[in-house]
Amino acid sequence: MAAIPWKKWAGTDESIKAVRILVRREIRDALRDWRIVTPIVILTLFFPALMSFVADLALDWVARYGAPIIGERIIPFLLMVVGFFPISFSLVIALETFVGEKERNSLEPLLATPLTDAQLYMGKMLAAMVPPLLAAYLGFAVYLAGLYFFKGWTPEWELLVLMIALTTAEGLVMVSAAVVLSSQATSVRAANLLASFVIVPVALLLQGEAIIMFYANYGVLWWILLFLIVVDVILVRMGVHLFNREELLGREIDELNLGSVWRTFKTHFVWERWFFGRDVEKGPFWLKLTGTICGLYLRELPALLRRSWLAFVLVGIGICGAVFVGCDLAARYNLPAEALRLEELTPEVFTALPDWGWLPNFTPLGIFINNVRALVLAWLLAIFSFGTLAVALLMAPLAIVFFFAAQAARLGYDPFLFLATFVLPHGLFELPAAIIATALSVRLGAALMSPPRGATVGENWLRALAEFTKAFLALTLPLLALAAVIEVYITPLIVILTFSRPGW
Amino acid sequence: MIELLNLTKKFDDFTAVDRVTLSVAAGEIVALLGPNGAGKTTTVRMIGGILRPTEGRAIVAGYDVTRHPREVRRRVGFLTEHPGLYLRMRGREYLEFFGGLMGLTARETERRAIELLDKLDMREAWERRMGTYSKGMRQKMALVRALLHDPPVLLLDEPTSAMDPHSARLVRDAIFTLRDHRRTIMLCTHNLTEAETLADRIAIIRRGRIVALGSIAELKHRLLGPPVMELQLACPVDGVLDLVSNVVKIDGYGDRWLRYTTSDPQVTNPRVLQLLASHQAPVVTLSELPRSLEEVYLRVIEEM
């Protein structure tokens, strides 16, 4: 699979001209399709005007009941809705962009022109984005003009900039993801089915944004914008990397071949027996078994972990971030002294932990299952978030640990002793297990972005899945089991012995 | 102009094109024949710089398709199997779009487009929406698109497949004109009559490999044996059978005709005629029995 010669493309007049020609044609073609134009016009002109009217009514209505704040919060929320509805059309246009042309047989003549892959990709992406985005901006203008004339309401600059930036970033997320889907799918139908991978996360994000808007917490929205920009960069990079003529023309059917899936998985799951150079294959059963175990633990897994160094670096950065967040929160939110009296800890405090509601049964099995569940959830989230949410899920408990360590320090305890007693005994096994599983989840998520030369996205993903499974079974599960036993039987003992002694 | 050396294309485990070696000179038309799925389209896609070969080399108009695919695409006119027009566009907009992508100015595009449309009797299509075109018009418009930048190499996949006889004739004439202007032309077709009419050489491809290559006469000779000549006389053949059998081996005869096979008609036929003339036998005609390309093709496909 050839990557796009980006440097050759970027910046030349000829390239810009080619992209412009392509974008102009695409937009002209889209604007001749009444199925696209009609909803865009409705959502650009009529819908914002209606929202403006609704906002006007809502303001009057809530003012009558002495709750003007609700009205104030509705206006920005409706502004977000007015912007989002037109850009949702970018998804429809983008999904259709390559695979639709392929179905209509108009793609091959285009591929036969001197256009580079990058020019094609950029042209198609811009063409899918520009009309809905302009419609969204126009929708903003209509909505705000209505509010200005009816109510004399003008938005804060921060809100306006934020809404424009969020709408643009959301549009780019949808378009870049949809273009990737469109270039990988074999039919418009398949592309539409795959679109749920875009629609569901964006819908969840919008719900989150809506809640935040009702809290009027614009600081969080700036963070969401930053997150969207990161996702944009990832998706555009992914599109640039995956997009090429070979994939577009070489793929005719998307038949699910379970046999082939299994073979690919198995190829990357199995490993060679090895026992210090001895001919294991011709030896007795015990030697083969020893060779299997040695091959796995002394050769296969170390090589796998070395290959995943970049994912470990990312997880490391996430851990540093968790330490910072935990300490920062501790500095801002102080626990009262009576909340953390370590010298009063008794074994019953540990066994009563499940009474807090969200903690597991304080038994080895309870803790083991809880940890496995968390790492499986991280693995699942990694698939839909290019690995980022797996790191976030690891960061959360670590941030809590460092929050308490920092609180302990503030209350006069030694934070290193706190960590050495509360975390280290079982953490020696639990943390490596969690880091390995998270790093391989990150690889699994990132496998979708950049398959190595000669491999398809599916093959690369199956390889990452096989490697994750291998490491999870051979390393993570045994380490977690051991950690759970230590956490239940040894860690509380060490904590109580350490902190219940007078003078600490 | 086109040089293929062990050109191979694999899709995963499937080998679509297997070590194809072929050269097509400027001013030559080569027809690529083969059953569906034989690898014709994949071959022309590689030649056109759209697909990257897995192995082997393809040099087109002086450029390697692997190293300089863009330069290759600039110099190739590619008529795809399906016209693939944008039906909401007018002919003028469509050709301006492709002219722009090929690096032509608007003025150049218009001049060239109108010249080609006139040649193909399509002038009225210039301002019409392509959705209103007939199948044949769509095919001709696609041909105009492929010829717009006056490429030195032409890859034509089923150029007359949807056309009425008049249009097909116009297109064939255009192809001959292009050959006269020393364009290199590769033709993919299932229409064997058309291939026979147009092509200087035929390449038959099966399961990704070229299994027969040569001029039509060479292929017929190689695959169907030496040409069979039929001699028609104005008198019964009985009187001349002995005479003729001294020169050639007679395959069959009737009341006033006889047939013989000769591997060298240029030498044999004058001798036969001379002999008959010296014995004052009234010759009506001496001609080669027609053997179609279809026979050659079927022989190749059945045998290989």
Q: For A39-83, what is each residue's pLDDT tens digit?
A: 888 888 888 888 888 888 877 787 777 766 766 778 888 888 888
Question: What residues are paired with B64 via a beta bridge?
Answer: B59
- How high is the ipTM of this complex? 0.84
Model confidence at B186, pLDDT cuts 50, 70, 90, reads very high
| pTM (predicted TM-score) | 0.73
A5 touches chain B (CB under 8 A): no
Residues of A within 8 A of B73 (CB-CB) are 112-114
Please give the pLDDT value at position B75: 93
pLDDT reported for residue A4: 42
The answer to whether the Cβ–Cβ distance between B80 and A115 falls below 8 Å is no
pLDDT over 70 for what percent of chain B? Answer: 100
Residues A381-408 have a mean pLDDT of 87
**For domain B2-221, is the CATH number 3.40.640.10?**
no
Q: Which residues of A touch B100 (CB under 8 A)?
A: 17-18, 21
Q: What is the pLDDT of residues A329-369, one digit of tens each?
A: 888 888 887 777 777 777 777 777 766 666 677 889 989 99
Pairing state between β B63-64 and B209-214: unpaired
| Beta-sheet strands, E only, within A159-313 | none
Who's near B139: CB < 8 A, 6+ residues apart? B83, B159, B160, B161, B162, B163, B167
pLDDT in tens, B89-112: 999 999 999 999 998 899 999 999
**Is B98 in Cβ contact with A105 (below 8 Å)?**
no
Which chain A residues contact residue B11 at CB under 8 A? 250
How does pLDDT run across B205-259, given as a tens digit for each residue? 988 999 888 888 888 888 888 888 999 998 888 878 888 888 888 888 988 999 9
Name chain B contacts of A28, Cβ cutoff 8 Å. Answer: 89, 93
Tell me how far apart the 2 most distant CA atoms of chain A are, in Å: 89
DSSP state of B21: E
At residue B134, does pLDDT exceed 70?
yes
Q: A4 at the B interface (CB within 8 A)?
A: no
State how far the Cα of B228 lies from the Cα of B238, in Å rounded to an integer: 20
Q: Using CA atoms, how far apart are residues A158 and B92, in angstroms rounded to an integer?
A: 47
Q: List chain B domain ranges.
A: 2-221, 228-288
User: Who among B11, B50, B52 is closest to A112 (CB)?
Assistant: B50
Dig out the tokens for A67 from the structure: 């709750």
**Domain B228-288, CATH:** 3.30.70
The domains of chain A are located at: 8-250, 308-499
B16 touches chain A (CB under 8 A): no
- CA-based torsion, A3, A6, A12, A15: positive or negative: positive
Q: Is B279 on the interface with A (CB under 8 A)?
A: no
For the record, the structure tokens of A4 come out as: 């796009």
User: What per-residue confidence (pLDDT) applies to A131?
Assistant: 86
Closest by CA position to A74, among listed A46, A53, A47, A89: A53
Q: Which of B101, B135, B145, B161 to mutate to test the interface with A (most CBs of A within 10 A)?
A: B101
- DSSP one-letter code for A363: S
- B206 conformational bin, left if phi > 0, alpha if psi -120 to 50, beta if neither: beta
Determine contact: A160 vs chain B, CB below 8 A.
no
- A109–B103: do the CB atoms touch at under 8 Å? no
Spatial distance between the Cα atoms of B89 and B82, rounded to a whole number of angstroms:
17
What digits encode the pLDDT tens for the residues A286-325? 888 898 999 999 999 999 999 999 899 999 999 999 999 9
